[in-house]
Amino acid sequence: MDLPYPRETLKLYHGTIRSDADAILQGKEIKILECALRSDFGRGFYTTSFRSQAQDWADVRMIRERMSGRTAQGAVLRIDVDVHALSLLRVRAFGTSRPATGNKDQDDSNRYWEFVRYHRNAETARLLDRPNDGFDVVIGPVANTGFQSWARSTDRSVWAGYDQISFHTDPALALITPTLRLVR
């Protein structure tokens, strides 16, 4: 479709280990069923708009692999997303700048925490081994709580300066897969 204005591109990054990056790039395919199940927004391919955040995550993945006795090297993939094409998908976006209203039904912060709690819950995760609640893409902050302490935690803070954009369905993955490239 020709637009009367230039297309905007959103630059996203995915931190991983080199062997996973190579597998994605060689096959030009992201396998949703190999993605982690109990993540903030459910099973999906997670990216960020911050390269430094992706590099941090690549380092974490590399350290975890090495602690398990495997050799690993961190890697960062860059993805260029056409903003117009993204707008045609079913997107759920959570903001962080709106103050709490006190009205549970209207408060975006409360909706965010309920969404995260729902997807991190082990029972829910087993039932939800499918695309994410009808959304192709989910955008929001990164919860600052660990998986193990989630049920007991009263902390409802997010990582400052971090975000996450997760892709959950074939149409969403088709949008990002052709533009994947290694940048670290």
Q: Residues in the chain, how many?
A: 184
**How much of the chain, in percent, has pLDDT values that exceed 90?**
44
Identify the DSSP state of 114: H
Using CA atoms, how far residue 31 sits from 88, 170, 182, in Å, is 22, 10, 18
Cβ 12 vs Cβ 165: under 8 Å:
yes
Cβ 14 vs Cβ 47: under 8 Å:
yes
- Predicted TM-score (pTM) of the model is 0.82
Model confidence pLDDT, tens digit, residues 74-88:
999 999 999 999 999
Model confidence pLDDT, tens digit, residues 159-172:
888 999 999 999 99
The 10 Å Cβ neighbour count of residue 46 is: 22
Q: Map out the domains of the chain as residue ranges.
A: 9-182
